[in-house]
């Protein structure tokens, strides 16, 4: 596993710390990993939705996903 360092504005850091205190994540690392995973999943969904609008890609969604 690799480490990264990302500067964050104070208000963003404060909001993240508040969410951690509320139990959204156990710590900062878990919060950031979850946020990145969620973002990557959203991007994958958007890619499938964009591909499904392509005129040359019609048919079963599972078959469309395999073409990506």
Alpha-carbon gap, residue 13 to 1, rounded angstroms: 23
Q: Could you give the dihedral angle defined by the CA atoms of residues 58, 61, 65 and 68, in that order, rounded to the nearest 10 degrees?
A: 20
What is the pLDDT at residue 49? 86
The model's pLDDT over 10-54, given as tens digits with 9 standing for 90+, comes to: 999 999 999 999 999 999 999 999 999 999 999 999 988 887 777
What is the pLDDT at residue 9? 97
61 CB contacts (<8 Å, ≥6 apart)?
48, 52
What is the pLDDT at residue 6? 94
pTM beyond 0.75: the answer is no
């Amino acid at each position: 596993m690799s480490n990264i360092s990302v500067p964050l504005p104070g208000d963003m850091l404060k909001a993240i710390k508040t969410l951690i205190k509320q139990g959204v994540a156990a710590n900062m690392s878990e919060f950031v990993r979850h946020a990145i995973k969620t973002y990557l999943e959203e991007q994958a969904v958007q890619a499938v939705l964009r591909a499904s609008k392509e005129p040359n890609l019609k048919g079963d969604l599972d078959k469309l996903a395999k073409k990506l």
